[in-house]
Amino acid sequence: MQLTRPPSPHLRPFVRLLWASAPDEPHEGRPGAREHVLPTGGMHLVFRLSGPPLRLFQDDADARGFTVGHAMVGGARSAFFVRDVSVQTRSVGAMLQPGAAKALLGVPEDALADRHTSLDALWGADADFALEQFHGTDSLARQLAIADALLGARLAASAMHGLHPAVAQALASMASARARDDDAQAGAIRELVKRSGYSHRRFISLFRRMTGLAPKQYARMLRFDRVIGQFAMDPTQPWVDLALQAGYSDQAHFNRDFLAIAGMSPQAYRRAAPASSRHVRI
């Protein structure tokens, strides 16, 4: 069971969505169960309210793994990660907008990219205080209200004001652009750099600081996201059609990109038939 809601208006430049989830019914554990979590290109803040702390693995062959904690930030990624799902848990979290990290977490996106960070390292004792507030209620709606209030308080105490204008302009242009192949994407990024008025190196640095990813990586994630979104709407569509519509030059290129991002081939992804497009049991 999952409940979602948009954040309060003053948080919307920083928070895309708030969510809370709980198992529908008591559930027996599935020892050893894991899943690939596919990247969104964005950053996530999560509070785990039941069960063990989040356990991650370096790859599918990693037998030991490592724990992160009960409150953590998942930085922007350009490829999947592997997590333990042997126990269903209650959680509440937020999908963050580009540029939110400095205002809400105290560090820029690129300091958190491609890894999970315990919230204790960023918020100190406030992370434990937040968990205590969530534990005070089993109501998903109330948990969402608490998350909204906590993030609102962090924003009010921050002197940061969101995205750099050059990065905001670039993100808007990339989101509205038609599907492009790699050569066209490279040309479009050069045009974004030129339009920004900054040097290439300075623009890339600004973009990475605000999103956690380089422009080329971010564009790659947008293209992958288009494919996954279209597949979720109609899983019977041929991969080659989805790939060409999204801007891949050919199916071989698409297959390589899909394997690098999802950790499995498109055919393996189809066979897995994930109930949630970005959470694939292995």
Tell me: the pLDDT tens digits for 37-87?
999 999 999 999 999 999 999 999 999 999 999 999 999 999 999 999 999
Q: Check whether residue 11 and residue 140 sit in a common domain.
A: yes
pLDDT of 179 reads: 73
Predicted local confidence at residue 138, as pLDDT: 93
Residue 277 lies in a domain: no
Asked whether residue 8 falls in the same domain as residue 121, the answer is yes
In this structure, the answer to whether residues 171 and 144 fall within a common structural domain is no
pLDDT at position 155 over 70: yes
Tell whether the model's pLDDT for residue 150 goes beyond 90.
yes
> Of 90, 121, 156, which marks where a domain is finished?
156
In a domain, 207, yes or no: yes
131 and 170 belong to one structural domain: no
Q: Looking at the structure, tell me whether residues 6 and 66 fall in a common domain.
A: yes
Mean pLDDT for the stretch of residues 99-119: 96
Q: Is pLDDT above 80 for 25?
A: no
- pLDDT above 90 covers a percentage of the chain that reads 85
Of 156, 188, 208, which residue is a domain's last? 156
Please report the pLDDT score of residue 28 as a whole number.
Answer: 67
- Same domain membership, residue 221 and residue 143: no
In a domain, 50, yes or no: yes
Same-domain status, 188 and 144: no
Same domain, 82 and 111: yes
27 — pLDDT class (breaks 50, 70, 90): low
Residues 29 and 121 in one domain: yes
Q: Is residue 281 domain-resident?
A: no
**How many Cα atoms occupy the beta-carbon half-sphere of 260 within 13 Å?**
12
Q: Same domain for 180 and 71?
A: no
Does residue 219 form part of some domain? yes
**Mean of per-residue pLDDT scores for the chain:** 93
Q: Specify the number of domains making up the chain.
A: 2
Query: Is residue 38 located within the same domain as residue 152?
Result: yes
Residue 54 belongs to a domain? yes
If 0-12 CB within 10 Å is exposed, 13-18 middle and 19+ buried, where does residue 106 land? middle
The arithmetic mean of pLDDT across residues 225-231, rounded, is 93
Q: Which amino acid is at 121?
A: A
Amino acid identity of residue 197, one-letter, is: G
Q: Who's near 18: CB < 8 A, 6+ residues apart?
A: 4, 5, 6, 7, 92, 93, 94, 144, 147, 148
Q: Is 203 helix (H, G, I), strand (E, B) or coil?
A: helix
Structure tokens at 153: 């308080």
* Residue 92 CB-density burial (10 A; 0-12 exposed, 13-18 middle, 19+ buried): buried
Residue 199 lies in a domain: yes
Query: Cα(66)–Cα(9) distance, rounded to whole angstroms?
Result: 37
| 3 Cβ contact list (under 8 Å, min separation 6) | 19, 20, 21, 140, 141, 144
- pLDDT interval class at 160 (50, 70, 90): low
Residue 235: pLDDT above 70? Answer: yes
Which of 97, 128, 156 delimits the end of a domain? 156
**Count of positions (residues) in the chain:** 282
Least confident span in 19-28, 42-51, 206-215, 266-275: 19-28
Q: What tokens appear for 163 in the block? A: 């995205």
Q: Given pLDDT bands bounded at 50, 70 and 90, which one contains residue 1?
A: confident
- Is the Cβ–Cβ distance between 212 and 97 less than 8 Å? no
Least confident of 26-35, 102-111, 133-142, 163-172: 26-35
CATH number, domain with residue 63: 2.60.120
If phi > 0 it is left, if psi is from -120 to 50 it is alpha, else beta; for residue 6 that is beta
Q: Over 90: is that where the pLDDT of 258 sits?
A: yes
Query: Do the beta carbons of residue 280 and residue 274 sit within 8 Å?
Result: yes
**What's the pLDDT at 6?**
98
Strand-pair category, 81-84 with 43-48: unpaired
Between 175 and 53, the higher pLDDT residue: 53
State mean pLDDT over 101-124. 96
Structural domain span for residue 104: 2-156
Report the 10 Å Cβ neighbour count for 24: 9
User: In terms of domains, do 179 and 97 share one?
Assistant: no
Model confidence at 267: pLDDT above 90: yes
Question: For residue 178, is pLDDT > 90?
Answer: no
Asked whether the whole model's pTM tops 0.75, one would answer yes
Q: Are 237 and 243 in contact (CB under 8 A)?
A: no
